[in-house]
Amino acid sequence: MPSRTTTGGAVLLSDPHGPIDGRFVYEYRLHAPGLESAGFAQGPMLLIARNASVGWAFTTGSPDVSDCYVVRRVATGAWRYLFDGKARPITRFPIDIAVKGGPKRHFTGAYTRHNGVYSPVIAEDAKKVWIVSTPYIEHLEGIHNAAWRMNRARRAGDFAQALDVPGMPIQNVTAADTHGDSFYIHAGMTPRRPPGFDWQQPQDGNTSRTAWRGYHPTSDLFTLRSPAAGYVANNNVDPRFMYPDGEPTAAAKMPNYLLAEGWTPEGRRTDREDRFLLAVAGTPKFDEETARQMALDVTVSRSDRWTALVKAAASAAPGNGAFTADLAKFDGALRADSTAALKYMLWRRALRPGLNDATARNLAEVVMKGASPGTDLVATAARALDAAAKEAAVLPQGLATPYGAVYRIVSDGVSLPMSGGRLGADIGGKDKPGPECRIEPLLCPTTLFAIGYGPPAADGTRTAVVGSRMMRLDFYGPQGIRSFTMQNPGTSLDPASPHATDQMRALISQRALKPVAWTWEALAGEVKSKVVLQRER
């Protein structure tokens, strides 16, 4: 917001994560009478976008919009149940799926009508079925209607009305505008539940006592409008953990199900929200370069406390002088060109198997609170130095191997060095998070420029598989909006196209963004080809 920027206007970052290939969307600019929009579209939906005066961003997290019920059959194996003593059917229906190159697959689905919606059976035994009720099974049109209304909005404050549709996006939604205002809503079409039940557990589906009492209006949802803190940020957290000084007033007396759901970590911040709050606390005012650095930040928080542990362990591992000396210089940044960053990752991976609950708890005290390491933790850290130094010595470049020689981004036969990463388990691998991740999840963070890697290949390299894939950074002011984007790995699905991996080469691997040509005049110099569609009159 303007109070926290040197630009005089708001700054908005949109950075949705997922499988690293972002080509399931396409980047667009559209100018038509009554509709101007630019961003990333999913099919016909101009979904993650901006117009001439307002822009918005989504990130995963919402109220709890679904419930599970256990329903007792009237008799063993029967496809009926009693609801308040009256018989109702459990309806079955055939499902046929054509399989290319093989025979059709035949299944049988089943559902009930709970809470006024189709509620599919997800599990069963001879005496019971388990069903899930969600309004979204009957309101698939909602996100399309909301996208249309958001594109027609003129102020950030218009978003409460734009999202007030059945089946609104199940997301944290943040908007900013050229007037300097911002808007945040923890959005989702949320059932109004009766009190007195634990909605994290399956409920009795044979009685109306557990039935929904309609839906919460949009005005009941957690909302912030241009907050006094001067910023809004949500990195997949319960809104109660968005600010460092405790729960926002807007959350007071709200039922828990309006604030938390199963995907969001319960009772704590995420590692990326933690990193953001540490960074914003040290940055009273953001200029454009600082905002870019934040968007592309690859810093591991509290690295000075990790390197202090390295120095404490060094005397117990004296044979690793060169390795330890470089590791001790680690500045916290997982940059592709950093040799210390790779040593840090090797040491952290070597440290994990040697930790037990006691040493992991001591480690959490050391890193999170600045406590002194105990002798057992120092010995464990020293053994990890020995193991990591041996692993580094056999790399092709030995101790001179940089982070990006091992951590790569790969697409269509192109392999490039990558920055950023995560300290948790490999994505899709067989390794498990260590005890330190369980005892204090903030010890195993993902960088703000979020990249997760798969298990090592035969040559020891690791390939990015999830993370940032379609980023947009907007700068707002009275003269309009200037946007900068990246789409990983490019815009084309044709491997022969120069646009299949061009953004991976020029932007993703380099941690850079490209300017968006909003006007036709700005775009004209970049046009490579043109197709004219003419409507018959």
Assign 8 a pLDDT band (cuts: 50, 70, 90).
Answer: confident
With a cut of 70, say whether residue 62 has pLDDT above it: yes
With a cut of 90, say whether residue 136 has pLDDT above it: yes
Cis status of the peptide bond prior to 489, with omega within 30 of 0: yes
At 149 the pLDDT is 94
Higher pLDDT, 523 or 71: 71
At 316 the pLDDT is 83
At 433 the pLDDT is 82
Assign 60 a pLDDT band (cuts: 50, 70, 90).
Answer: confident
What's the pLDDT tens digit per position in 185-202?
999 999 999 999 999 899
What's the pLDDT tens digit per position in 495-514?
999 999 999 999 999 999 99
Q: pLDDT above 90 covers what percent of the chain?
A: 69
* Cβ atoms of residues 462 and 453 within 8 Å: yes
SS3 call for 453: strand
CA gap 457, 195 in Å, rounded: 52
Q: What is the mean pLDDT of residues 410-433?
A: 88
CA gap 223, 225 in Å, rounded: 7
SS3 call for 203: strand
- Beta sheet of 480-487, edge-to-edge order: 11-14, 470-477, 480-487, 514-515
With a cut of 70, say whether residue 263 has pLDDT above it: no
* Cβ atoms of residues 35 and 151 within 8 Å: yes
At 318 the pLDDT is 82
How does the average pLDDT of the chain come out, rounded? Answer: 92
Lookup: tokens for 338: 């950093």
With a cut of 70, say whether residue 262 has pLDDT above it: no
SS3 call for 251: helix
Lookup: tokens for 259: 């604030």
What domains does the chain contain, in order, with CATH numbers? 2-62+141-269 (3.60.20.10), 67-133 (2.30.120.10), 303-447 (1.10.1400)
SS3 call for 478: coil
Q: What is the largest CA-CA distance in the chain?
A: 84
Length of the chain equals 537
DSSP string, 324-355: HHHHTT--SB--TT-HHHHHHHHHHHHHGGG-
DSSP string, 60-78: E------EEEEEEBSSTT-
At 289 the pLDDT is 93
* Cβ atoms of residues 481 and 50 within 8 Å: yes
CA gap 243, 240 in Å, rounded: 8
Q: What is the mean pLDDT of residues 161-182?
A: 92
What's the pLDDT tens digit per position in 84-122?
999 999 999 999 999 999 999 999 999 999 999 999 999
Of 535, 514, 516, residue with least CA distance to 38? 516
Q: CA 529, 530, 536: angle at the middle one, nearest 5?
A: 160
With a cut of 70, say whether residue 71 has pLDDT above it: yes
CA gap 265, 303 in Å, rounded: 24
CA gap 36, 55 in Å, rounded: 11
At 35 the pLDDT is 93
What's the pLDDT tens digit per position in 219-255?
999 999 988 888 888 888 888 888 887 777 778 788 8
Q: CA 429, 435, 440: angle at the middle one, nearest 5?
A: 110
* Cβ atoms of residues 194 and 209 within 8 Å: yes
Q: What is the mean pLDDT of residues 522-528?
A: 86
With a cut of 80, say whether residue 481 has pLDDT above it: yes
At 110 the pLDDT is 97
Tell me which long-range contacts 36-41 makes (C-beta under 8 A, separation of at least 24): 37/151, 38/483, 38/516, 38/518, 39/14, 39/472, 40/470, 40/472, 40/487
Q: What is the mean pLDDT of residues 137-161?
A: 91
Higher pLDDT, 98 or 529: 98
Q: What is the mean pLDDT of residues 331-338?
A: 96
With a cut of 70, say whether residue 422 has pLDDT above it: yes
DSSP string, 397-443: TGGG--HHHHEEEEETTEEEE----BSSPPTTSS----HHHHH-GGG
* Cβ atoms of residues 119 and 138 within 8 Å: no
CB atoms within 10 A of CB 432: 12
Q: What is the mean pLDDT of residues 150-172?
A: 91
At 122 the pLDDT is 96
Q: What is the mean pLDDT of residues 399-407?
A: 96
